[in-house]
Structure 1
Amino acid sequence: MLKNYDCIIIGGGIAGLQAAIQLGRYKHNILVIDSGHGRSSICRGYHNILGWPDGVSGNELRELGKKHAEKYGVEFIKDKAVKLENHKDYFTVTAEIQGTFQTKTVFLATGLVDRLPEIENLGPCLGRSVYVCPDCDGYEVADKKTIVLGGGNTGAEAALTLTYFTDDIVYINHDQKQMDDGLVLKLKKNGIPIIWKKITKVLIDDEGNFNGVTLEDGETILAERGFTGFSGNKMNNELAIQAGVQLNESQHIVTNPRTKESSVTGIWSGGDLIAHSEQVTISMGDGSQAAIWIHKRLMGEKRIEE
């Protein structure tokens, strides 16, 4: 006999945790399956979240969210969900180590994985002095010399976006990908030099903050902040595909804007898996919104169509 839940949440990041808290407060029987490798786990500091004027790390936010959800009886297992099957009246979720579970509903919050090259010292700077999202952290580079570590058009566009905050930018095309002529012209007009060399090392100061980079030929370029601009982020949508969930052209899950339910009745989703906004606060909203409608379904309400 498989252990049965009202809802299994796959992914213990921001969207998943917010859904878990809301569903736990409804006193439903909830399981969260989390591999511990979500995008929020690598960020050392979010600075645009209500209530955290001095910033909060992704790990602290996750730890507090887990503690909060457990207060309401939500169960957690550290494992990777590898299989999701739709049996019409219920779903089964199989985890890599702890086997198969049964559930009435599913919330997919598996997010995405940023493509970041293996550059020495890059990881420890993320979210502290090297950033990935101009909407979240463009403010952090205001009036500071900034190096954009990127590739091709993606890096060029990131550099141009940051001109709103600073006019002292260097773009290092680490991937050495070709760029559209129009973007090259815009970079030139904005006084942004393009360096076509690979980065071998991120330089850090005594406090562990970004201080510049060393290039493949040994040249050193100093700066106060770094920003990444690499293409090829990977959507963690394998489980959705297994269950027959509809995806859009960007490989995000298509959901009802009101309920966050996918094309498959009984499967909801939120966070980076459904939108390109990549914002913690929006992920929180998705989790809460989906949980409300999951509760309604568990109480017998029918599916809401767009």
Structure 2
Amino acid sequence: MSYDCIIVGGGIAGLQAAIQLGRYKHKVLVIDSNYGRSTLCKSYNNILGWPDGISGHELRQLGKRQAEKLGVEFISEVVDRAEKVGKGFQLTVKTGLQFAAKRLLLATGIMDRIPAFPELLHCLGINVYVCPDCDGYEVMNKSTIVIGAGNVGAKMALTLSYWTQDLTYINHEQTEVSEHLLNELKVHRIQYVEETIQKVIAENSYLKGFILQSGKRIMGECGFIAFGGNEVKSNLAKQLGVELLENHHIVVNPRTKMTNIPNVWAAGDVVAHSEQVTIAMGEGSAAAIWIHKSFMDEREVF
């Protein structure tokens, strides 16, 4: 099956692009694994029109229904391979099915490195967060526990000191923290604990605290996760020869969102920027507009 554009990734950027392209009446397919940041977050709290927050699941469902009304198609698959074929592209999914497109938008996102405590996942967006720009406001004047690794966790705790003075940093992986940052933690009166977490204490999807390996309990009202080493899902981009930064984020034209490879665009968290839903929406729309312009340019030429 051949499409005008295939969007890989049905998160916020991919959905917004799909809606815009659907409104242009292009034939669009969204291939989505149904597992990503937006599937995990229980509440986004900084989106225009949703003052009480909206879950990633609900926002995705609303976006999908809106796109489907515009004729956009969706399949739940994982794309294994992307390659240039003639003037277009061919994508192969894990089940072996192949799809062709004239344009390609990569909205594959990133995945945070979260320790293997299932209880934490149920609290994401409720009172456990990963992005201080998105959710620092939520911990204002509240006792907040940062769990993380080394310098990454220390920097997160220091960033959150803008919002609250009641902070504890648990260096769960016991990774080295620089002397400079240790001194900064002391200056800001942030409690520093270098010990492995044994258990998460949670109730009704609300984090209550942690039990350390020693048996000590550290309780708090909110939590932040900061381990670093997040997985940037840019493997398909690499297969196509797309330019990547050292941290594996995709480089795009800041205006058009097109990569260095003609007719390949990227949007959302997989692109290097502040990782926010509202920015992802804007990038998805911008990419879709320029994808449409590329078709219009071809029409004018021929």
TM-score normalised by L of structure 2: 0.97
**Which one of the candidate residues 273, 277, 282 is aligned to 2:274?**
277
* Partner Cα distance (1:10, 1:117) in 2: 27
Asked if the contact 1:120/1:201 (under 8 Å) is kept, the reply is: no
Deviation at 1:88, TM superposition (A): 4.2
**Which one of the candidate residues 45, 48, 73 is aligned to 2:43?**
45
* Partner Cα distance (1:208, 1:296) in 2: 45
- 1:166 maps onto 2:189 in alignment: no
* Partner Cα distance (2:90, 2:36) in 1: 22
- Evaluate the alpha carbon distance shift between residue 301 and residue 183 of structure 1 in structure 2; reply closer, same or farther with a 3 A threshold: farther
Q: Which moved more, 1:117-126 or 1:283-292?
A: 117-126
Partner residue, 1:176: 174
Q: How does 1:249-268 map to 2 (within 5 A)?
A: 249-268=246-265
* Partner Cα distance (1:167, 1:276) in 2: 28
Deviation at 1:120, TM superposition (A): 4.6
Deviation at 1:299, TM superposition (A): 1.9
Per-residue CA distance 1:20-68 (angstroms, 9 max, x = gap): 0000000000000000002111000000000100000000000000000
* Partner Cα distance (2:21, 2:123) in 1: 35
**Which one of the candidate residues 136, 148, 152 is aligned to 1:138?**
136
Partner residue, 1:80: 78
**Which one of the candidate residues 231, 238, 243 is aligned to 2:240?**
243
Following TM superposition, where does structure 1 have runs of at least 4 consecutive aligned residues deviating by more than 6 angstroms?
Answer: none
- 1:212 maps onto 2:209 in alignment: yes
* Partner Cα distance (1:104, 1:76) in 2: 17
Asked if the contact 1:106/1:268 (under 8 Å) is kept, the reply is: yes
TM-score normalised by L of structure 1: 0.96
RMSD: 1.1
Aligned residues: 299
Matched residue of 1:271: which SS?
coil
Deviation at 1:219, TM superposition (A): 1.1
Letter matched to residue 43 of structure 1: C
Q: Which moved more, 1:94-103 or 1:41-50?
A: 94-103
Partner residue, 1:66: 64
* Partner Cα distance (2:118, 2:13) in 1: 31
Residue identity over aligned pairs, in percent, reads: 54
Asked if the contact 1:38/1:113 (under 8 Å) is kept, the reply is: yes
- Evaluate the alpha carbon distance shift between residue 120 and residue 39 of structure 1 in structure 2; reply closer, same or farther with a 3 A threshold: closer
Unaligned runs of 5+ in 2: none
